[in-house]
Chain A
Amino acid sequence: MRDVAIVAFAQTRHTAHDTGLSEPELILPVINEVKERTGLRRFGFTCSGSCDYLAGAPFSFVSALDAIGAWPPISESHVEMDGAWALYEAWVRLQHGDVDSALVYGFGKSSLGDLRTIMTLQLDPYYLAPLGLDQLSYAALQAAALRADRAELDEIVRRSRADGRDNPYALDLPDEISGSDEVSGSDEVSGSDEVSGGFAVEPLKTSDIAPVTDGAAAVVLAAGDLAAELCERPAHIRGIAHRTEPHYLGMRDLAQSASAADAARAAGVGKGPVDVAELHAQFAHEELILRRALELPDGTVINPSGGPLAANPVMATGLIRIGEAARRVHDGTAERAVAHAAGGPCLQHNLVTVLEA
């Protein structure tokens, strides 16, 4: 495959509430930032990811074109998926060989609606959505299938929040975890005390859940020689692959992620050491499933940015994982990094990217 690298990444200072900015206003500064950093004003290809249901209106991506200044007209496409898949589409486009640069962005304001209920609408409309199974309920089904150690989950949350507080772009979430005293060290979580002690939907605690977040992110890809011209230490995409799996939760072993494991193998995660991994885990237990699926070595630093548990701007979160992993390569903290993005209920669809200096 043609050598393609991430040469710039920018993100908003994500917020847990609506700051009154429209989506184009949210996007404009990050687009300007990656343009400034690369010196590129035009790109061979542009692709974005967003979701109409977050805005509650059709064509949420249309006004974004005003933000990127698509004039003269640009070669552009859009996926109704996380921006990570927009990056994948751009990577594929760069394989053609006729263009050398691509702009990718993702954005979402989940503060505008009830995210937990909205996510119900991505379920099978005939057999699943009418059950009213919301996002927390199906995540709790997966958490229950995994039966993870409570202390281990709490530790993931504490680590993510601490890293998030060190990350100027992530939210500042407190160190204390609701109800943790009652259940720490227990792998059997049941009983009324615990339910009143911080559970959203048992066994899922409120602290296990990624916060509602507004935000956007942008990435610039460059192929061949252009990458070295635009960036001192480009993050070369050595492998990128994604896989989906059956939609129906009953058809999957929820304690594992077969599609994440397949994608990781196809992307070549195991071909070398992994210094850093940024995982699109929107719930604490998903990190455990993903670490296992990606067969990450013990020494790998997981989500040094704080990950989605510290900032989860839906539709940009996966792209931010790729951007954060690339940033570690750019600044020299990592030689080899892995980024993961997910879509669909209970990690139905997974994308894995391997980046190298």
Chain B
Amino acid sequence: MANRCAVIGVGQTHYTTKRGDVSIAGLVREAAIRALDDAGLTFKDIDAVVIGKAPDLFEGVMMPEAYLADALGAAGKPMMRVHTAGSVGGSTGLVGASLVQGGVHDRVLVVAFEKQSESNATWALSTHLPFNASLVVGAGGYFAPHIREYMRRTGAPAHIGTLVAVKDRLNALKNPYAHLKIPGIDRRMVESTPMLWEPIRYLETCPSSDGACAMVLSSEAKVTGTPAWVHGAAMRSEPIFRAGRDTVNPRAGKDCAADVYRQAGVTDPRRQIDVAEVYVPFSWYEPMWLENLGFAADGEGWKLTESGATALDGDIPWNASGGVLSSNPIGASGLIRFAEAALQVRGMAGEHQVDGARLALGHAYGGGAQFFAMWIVGRERP
């Protein structure tokens, strides 16, 4: 079976609207060097580099791994570039882990980034292909109908999204790297912001961020420092236009979770997982993914959110870092989830540390809620 793999270094840049002080190369290098420092290593110790980001149209640089090879110390080494839509950050972590699990390399540097200030993401996501309808709505306009359908099915009250928006931003106040820091944020503040795509209000959406995240992954023999062990890793995809697919509660998400739980020996995620970093770009995706990932029964996710169970002091904290709602360099957002999960079980999450976290879930999704990447990391060696 697959070899053991551990996260031994995590590096993040501060996430912000515009990093005018660094080039794209400077941005990814900043995260990479922090991850190497965390692992007590240098670029010389790295066997291969895996880089991921969302569509190249965001920065206008096609296949930027060619240009970034120098900044990431990849010259003379294998380098790969992953792109799986919004889930790409997670997939990048998985491709890097795969190189270690497959016994091909001992130490892999994975990096994901987005420098969204280089363009307008909504326009880059709204191109009009020949013979296709263009909605010109971006991600919010695409996902809002799915959220309305979730509300219709479950009868969830309208304020649930607001609760998530407040909770994640309160968590962000404890995360030094978070983009949105809104002191005094409360339900009234969220509810006073404009409605963008019914039922998503301005403060219920993710920001557009510049930022990069990096991790050093290691084989068992080459572990340095404090490892977070990979207990399970899985990806699943389903077609966007398949008639009859459930876009609200996608099967690919359920299958991916089942796969990663099986590998990690998790039968009751609510009880066995201590903290989850889940891709929630619009507030309502917390209750939706609570159900999709099996933390709550169908139709019950919003009740878990409402009960406060997913808050930092709840019994199953979700997005203790502030999540995608607080920082969103799109291509990196998935890897940040994976990295924050690793930080939690390494006991290195600082002010947003969940006490005694031993097992954590990292999750990312993308495309039309059709691409999923997940991993479970633990304090103990599997």
- Of the listed stretches B64-72, B149-157, B220-228, chain A binds B64-72
Q: Is A243 an interface residue (CB 8 A)?
A: yes
Give the distance in Å from the alpha carbon of A128 to the alpha carbon of B95 in the complex: 30
A53-B56, A56-B127 as given contacts; A78 in contact with B83, CB under 8 Å: yes
Interface contact A79-B235, CB-CB below 8 Å: no
A251 to chain B, nearest CB (A): 8
A59-B85, A73-B236 as given contacts; A81 in contact with B80, CB under 8 Å: yes
**What is the size category of the interface that chain A forms with chain B?**
35 or more
Give the distance in Å from the alpha carbon of A53 to the alpha carbon of B56 in the complex: 8
B117 to chain A, nearest CB (A): 13
Chain B residues with CB under 8 A of A97? 1-2
Binary contact readout B56-81 vs A (1 if CB under 8 angstroms, 0 otherwise): 11011111111111100011111111
Interface residues of B in 23-75 (CB under 8 A from A): 23-25, 54-57, 59-70, 74-75
Interface contact B70-A242, CB-CB below 8 Å: no
A76-B235, A79-B80, A122-B66 as given contacts; A63 in contact with B240, CB under 8 Å: yes
A52-B57, A89-B80 as given contacts; A96 in contact with B62, CB under 8 Å: no
A55-B129, A78-B84, A85-B80 as given contacts; A71 in contact with B239, CB under 8 Å: yes
- Contact partner of B102 (CB less than 8 A), chosen from A93, A259, A262, is A93
Interface contact B95-A89, CB-CB below 8 Å: yes
Q: Is A241 an interface residue (CB 8 A)?
A: yes
Interface contact B23-A126, CB-CB below 8 Å: yes
Interface residues of B in 123-179 (CB under 8 A from A): 124-125, 127, 129, 131
Interface contact A58-B95, CB-CB below 8 Å: no
Give the distance in Å from the alpha carbon of A125 to the alpha carbon of B115 in the complex: 13
Chain A residues with CB under 8 A of B59? 125
- Contact partner of A92 (CB less than 8 A), chosen from B102, B124, B255, is B102
Binary contact readout B235-263 vs A (1 if CB under 8 angstroms, 0 otherwise): 11111111001000011100110010000
- Contact partner of A72 (CB less than 8 A), chosen from B124, B235, B255, B370, is B255
Q: Is B82 an interface residue (CB 8 A)?
A: yes
Residues of A at the B interface (CB closer than 8 Å) are: 1, 22, 46, 51-53, 55-59, 61-63, 65-66, 69-81, 85, 88-89, 92-98, 118-119, 121-126, 128-129, 241-248, 251, 258-259, 262, 343-345, 348-349
21 inter-chain pairs at a CB distance below 8 angstroms, sorted by A residue, are A53-B62, A57-B127, A62-B85, A66-B240, A70-B239, A73-B250, A78-B82, A79-B83, A85-B81, A92-B104, A93-B98, A93-B102, A96-B98, A123-B66, A125-B24, A244-B66, A244-B69, A244-B75, A245-B69, A344-B63, A348-B66
Across the A-B interface, give the 8 residue pairs with the lowest CB-CB distance, nearest first.
Answer: A95-B102, A58-B55, A73-B252, A344-B66, A76-B237, A121-B62, A80-B83, A96-B2
